[in-house]
Amino acid sequence: MTQRAVAAVILAAGMGTRMKSALPKVLHPVAGRPMINRIIDTLAPLAPERTVVVTAPDHDAVRAAVAPAKTAVQQPALGTAHAVLAAREHLEGFDGIILVMFGDTPLLTEETMRAMAGAMEGPADPAVAVLGFRPEDPAAYGRLVTSGDGALEAIVEFRDCDEAQRRIGFCNAGIMGLDGRVALALLDRIGNDNAKGEYYLTDIVALARAEGRACVTVEGDAEEVMGVDDRLRLAAAERVAQRRLRNDAMANGATLIDPETVHFCWDTRLGRDVTVEPHVVFGPGVTVGDDVHIKAFSHLEGADVHATAEIGPYARLRPGAEIQAAARIGNFVEVKKAVIEAGAKVNHLSYIGDARVGRQANVGAGTITCNYDGFDKHHTHIGAGAFIGSNSALVAPVRIGDGAIVGAGSTIAEDVADDDLAFTRAPQTAKSGWAAGFRAGRQDRKNKNAK
C-alpha cells in the first residue's frame, strides 16, 4: 500500500472512429468486460480515493457503465493535458498521487499501477512518473530520454528526435503519475503552440524539470500498454487476455486439454482438478466446482456447476442453470433457469427450462419442458428418482412426483403422483401383410414407368 492517497483519472473521451462502431470505443469488451471497466477493476486493489473518467459529451453510455465513478466531460477535445484538466473539479485540493491512464488500454496490470504509485513515493520525490516500454519495433513512438542515474530528462516525439534519440528503445506509453500538490498548476502552464493547437500532457515533464522537480520512469511490458483503436487491436487484446486467463486457470489446478481452443470470460471461476476439453466457451457468470469434467464443444453462461458434475459434449448451459454434485448433462442438452439436483441425468437431446429435476432422476432423450405459452414462463418439477421416458413433452406448469415414471413418447399436461406411471399414447394398430403389398405395388409402378 502507498502512504499517500491515490486518485485515478481515466481518459475516455476519444471518439474511436477507427472502430467503425456506434458503441463508444471504451465499451467494447475484452474477455466479456468493457475495456473501461477492466481498467477500473485493475485499479480497485489500490483503493483510489477518487476515480474520474473523462468522457465526450454524448457518451452517456460510458458514464452509466462506470458508475459510481465520477465523470467529467471534455468539450471540445483539445489534447491529453486538456482532458486531464476537464477533471479539475474532482482534483481540487487533492495532494496525493494522481494516476493518469487511457480507457483503451485494457491489459494494464495491478502490479504495474502499483509500481507507478510506488515510484511517486521514491526518494527523488518526483513531480511526474512516466510509464515506458520497449517494443520490438519502436516505430513512431515518443522516446524517453533518461540520464545515467535513470532520471527522466525529456519525452521527445519521434518526429522531433535526432538520430541518436531515434536509436533509443525506451518508449512512452502515455501513462503517468502526477504529484497532486503541483499537478494542476503545472497542467495550467502547458501551452498549445504546436501544429495541432492541442495541449499535450507530455509537456508536463519539461515544466516540472524547469522548476527543479525530479521526473522518473517505470518500465512496463510492451504487451500490457497496448492501446486498442481498431478491431484488429481489439482482437489482439482479446488474445492476450485469453492467454492470461488460461494460464491462471491452469496455475490454479485446472486441466485444459487444448488451451488455445478454450474461451474464458473475465469472471470465470474454475475449481481444482477441473478438466476442460477442447472448444469450450465460458460466457459471463460461470462458476465450476472441483473435479468437474466439461467435455468438448460445450457453452456455459450464467451457470453454477457443482463438484464432480459432468457436462457435455455439445451441452449448453444458459443463465440460471444450476448443476449439482455428480449430475450429468449430456450431448445436445440445453438447460436454462433450472436446477439439476445431485446425481440426476439429462444425457441426450433435451431442453430443460424453468424446471427442477430431483436427485437421481433420469430424463430420457428428446424430452422437453414446454415452459412458454406465448405470454408467460411456467415451472416444471420432476421429483427425486423419477424416470422420464424418451421423446416426452412436459407441459408446464406440471409436477412429476418422486419415483414416478413417464412412458416414452408422452405429452404430460397434468400432475403425476409419486410412484405413478403416466403415459399418453394412441392405440397401436397393425394391418397384417400391408407392408409387403405396399412394396410390391410401388415396385410394379416403378417398372411400368421405366418402360
Helix axes 35-43, 110-119, angle to 10 degrees: 50
- Inter-residue long-range contacts of 186-189, CB under 8 Å, 24+ positions, other chains counted: 186/127, 186/211, 187/81, 187/84, 187/85, 188/85
- Dist. CA 415–CA 134, nearest whole Å: 69
Q: How far apart are the first and last CA of the chain?
A: 94
d(CA 415, CA 401): 8
DSSP strands (E only) in 13-67:
29-30, 33-34, 50-55
- DSSP per-residue letters across 134-166: --SS-TTPPEEEE-TTS-EEEEE-GGG--HHHH
**Phi, psi of 132, rounded to the nearest 5 degrees:** -115, 165
Cβ neighbours of residue 290 under 8 Å, at least 6 residues apart?
A: 271, 272, 273, 274, 307, 308
Q: For residue 219, which of 146, 319, 167, 148 has the smallest C-alpha distance?
A: 146
d(CA 150, CA 56): 37
Residue 332 burial (CB count, 10 A): 17
348 given a catalytic annotation:
yes
Annotated binding site for Mg(2+): 104
Question: Residue 339: helix, strand or coil by DSSP?
Answer: strand
- Binding-site sequence positions: 11-14, 25, 74, 79-80, 104, 142, 157, 172, 318, 336, 351, 362, 365, 371-372, 390, 408, 425
C-alpha cell, 142: 515518443
Binding-site entries for acetyl-CoA: 365, 371-372, 390, 408, 425
Q: Would you call the peptide bond into 76 cis, given omega within 30 degrees of 0 as the criterion?
A: yes
**Rounded to whole angstroms, what are the CA distances from 328 to 234, 259, 343, 347, 393?**
37, 23, 7, 7, 20
Instruction: List beta partners, residue 422.
Output: 406
Q: Which residues are annotated as a binding site for UDP-N-acetyl-alpha-D-glucosamine?
A: 11-14, 25, 74, 79-80, 142, 157, 172, 318, 336, 351, 362
Of the residues 348, 378, 379, 381, only one is catalytic, namely 348
296 vs 276: CA distance, rounded Å: 7
43-66 burial, b for 16+ CB within 10 Å, e for fewer?
beebebebbbbbbbeebeebbebb
Neighbours of 430 (CB within 10 A): 5
Active-site amino acid positions: 348
